[in-house]
Amino acid sequence: MDISSGVVGRMIDLALEEDLGRGDVTTRLTVPEGARAAGLAIARHEIVVSGMDVFSSVLRRVDPDVAVEVRRGDGEAAAPGDVLAVAAGRTASLLAGERTALNFLQRLSGVATLTRDMVRSLPPGSAARVSDTRKTTPGLRALEKRAVLHGGGQNHRPDLAGGILIKENHAAAAGSIAAAVERCRRGAPHGVGIEVEVRTEAELLEAVESGADAVLLDNMEPPEIARCVEIAAGRVLVEASGGIGLDNAAEIAATGVDVISVGALTHSAPAVDISFLLEGAQR
């Protein structure tokens, strides 16, 4: 991913403008001109790292002369006290950029860590895959979906052009699930599958018999999910979604679904605790 241009670059610039647009009065008054230092990014609890390149890019946007040595890269696990990166340069530049750099790193590492925990929560031998959704922070989707991959999950469609997912409103507008599938089948680009969101066993059968490639079971309880998996009988890929978290992911995986899509991976992941300390500073 090129983080120096495009939407991610614009988000970095916006975040820096938000925090540094009017300058850093505290640093200007307390840091001697020309002072240099090294700052350590330190994990405060067990995490999976994601966004280290963004962390580095933020600091270099503030000052191109800042050098960042990465100690724990994206997708790597870190224990409490581990040094994730060492940034060296002008003290004023490090202090001016640290909060914005950490905001990205803590947020993205939080997504990766929650995804890792969700994957680990599934029963041993489970074939179910943990996937994200489009419930992402506006502007940060590409980074958050990459963080899901760093945590061992998979990505659902990246945007509305990335796949066909017929939801309740689409089916209503087309007249029925069958009509919506037929319209999509006639116009879908080559190789693009058709998935249908269903809420009942009857809708599941309609989707399967209409030639859908996958079904998304919306907010069903585990016994109903298990029954739908039995009805599908391998004819379509079965995805479960809605209200899934660490407390019930294992039970849902045990029903035999192929995919568990979890919006919480991106919309509710807590930021992890990472500190940034100048060498020699008290911790």
Q: Kindly state whether residues 111 and 126 are assigned to the same domain.
A: no
pTM of the model: 0.94
Residues 6+ apart with CB under 8 A from 7: 139, 142
Q: How far apart, in whole angstroms, are the C-alpha atoms of residue 8 and residue 98?
A: 18
On whether residue 40 sits in a domain, the answer given is yes
Residue 29: pLDDT band with limits 50, 70, 90: very high
CATH of the domain at 109: 3.90.1170.20
Hey, CA dihedral for 114, 162, 225, 167, is it positive or negative?
positive
Q: How far apart, in whole angstroms, are the C-alpha atoms of residue 101 and residue 94?
A: 10
Q: Length of the chain, please?
A: 283
- What pLDDT sits at residue 283? 40
Q: How far apart, in whole angstroms, are the C-alpha atoms of residue 245 and residue 268?
A: 10
- What pLDDT sits at residue 127? 93
Annotation says 218 is catalytic: yes
Annotation says 145 is catalytic: no
Buried b / exposed e along 11-47 (16+ C-beta atoms within 10 A)? bbeebbeebbeeebeeeeeebeeeeebbbbbbbeeeb
Q: Kindly state whether residues 34 and 55 are assigned to the same domain.
A: yes
* 211 pLDDT more than 90: yes
Annotation says 76 is catalytic: no
Name the percent of the chain lying above pLDDT 90: 93
* 280 pLDDT more than 80: no
On whether residue 139 sits in a domain, the answer given is yes
Residue 6: pLDDT band with limits 50, 70, 90: confident
Phi, psi of 151 (to 5 degrees): -85, 0
Residue 190: pLDDT band with limits 50, 70, 90: confident
Query: What share of residues in the chain are helix, strand, coil (percent, to 5)?
Result: 40, 20, 40
Q: Please tell me the number of Cα atoms within 13 Å of 259 on its side-chain side.
A: 21
Q: Which of 44, 71, 99, 183 is catalytic?
A: 99
Q: Which of 53, 197, 203, 213 is catalytic?
A: 197
Q: Which of 19, 76, 201, 218 is catalytic?
A: 218
Q: Is 8 exposed, middle or buried, given 0-12, 13-18 or 19+ CB atoms closer than 10 A?
A: buried
Q: Kindly state whether residues 255 and 139 are assigned to the same domain.
A: yes
Contact between residue 199 and residue 168 where contact means Cβ atoms under 8 Å apart: yes
* 281 pLDDT more than 60: no
**What does DSSP assign to residue 269?**
P
Q: Which of 129, 134, 167, 227 is catalytic?
A: 167
On whether residue 43 sits in a domain, the answer given is yes
- The arithmetic mean of pLDDT across residues 54-77, rounded, is 97
Annotation says 18 is catalytic: no
Residues 6+ apart with CB under 8 A from 249: 118, 121, 122, 130, 260, 262
Q: How far apart, in whole angstroms, are the C-alpha atoms of residue 2 and residue 12?
A: 12
Q: Kindly state whether residues 142 and 251 are assigned to the same domain.
A: yes
Q: Kindly state whether residues 222 and 248 are assigned to the same domain.
A: yes
Chain mean pLDDT for the chain: 95
Q: Kindly state whether residues 104 and 136 are assigned to the same domain.
A: no
On whether residue 1 sits in a domain, the answer given is no
Residue 2: pLDDT band with limits 50, 70, 90: low
- What pLDDT sits at residue 7? 82
Q: Kindly state whether residues 84 and 124 are assigned to the same domain.
A: no
Q: Kindly state whether residues 137 and 236 are assigned to the same domain.
A: yes
Domain span holding position 103: 6-119+270-278
Annotation says 135 is catalytic: yes
Nearest Cα to 239, choosing from 262, 260, 264, 210?
A: 260
Give the CA angle between residues 219, 220, 222 to the nearest 5°: 135
